[in-house]
Homo-oligomer: A and B are copies of this chain.
Amino acid sequence: METRNTIQKQTILQAVKQLANHPTAEQVYEQVVQRLPNISRATVYRNLSSMAERGMLRRIGVPGGADHYDHTLEDHHHILCSECGALEDIWMELPTQHLQQVAQSQSQFAIEGCQLVFYGRCPACQTKSEDAEIPHLH
């Protein structure tokens, strides 16, 4: 399984690093298409997937939304805006080993890892709903 070093691959990886904060495939495409106007979304999807599999990037799957890609490889967690889907890093130590032991004692699964995700409303969405708050008239 050889890996050819195409301009598309280089540009995609560069874009994820440049966008820095968890772009989706679509956002990567929009960035890359400026340099390579003929690139196809399929190429972006294919390369992001394969880079994630090779461990060059981390894929962050978001239920009900597009996957995000993280250029930060170190072990960390994320917080997701329940309103707009914005993603941010959370750095904290978790007794992962211990948690996985407890989980292992309850299931027959061969446990590979675990992920902690926080939910909340991002600053922008908080501001938005403050604006929408209309005083009640009784």
Chain A residues within 8 Å of B, Cβ to Cβ: 61-64, 67, 77, 79, 81-82, 88-92, 94, 99-100, 102-103, 106-123, 126
Contacts and interface: CB of A to CB of B under 8 A. Distances in A.
A61 to B, nearest CB: 2
Counting every copy of the chain, the complex holds: 2
Contacts of A122: 108-109
B106 A90 contact: yes
Contact of A103 (B111, B114, B118): B118
5 contacts: A63-B67, A103-B118, A110-B120, A111-B119, A116-B116
A82 B63 CA distance: 15
B82 A92 contact: no
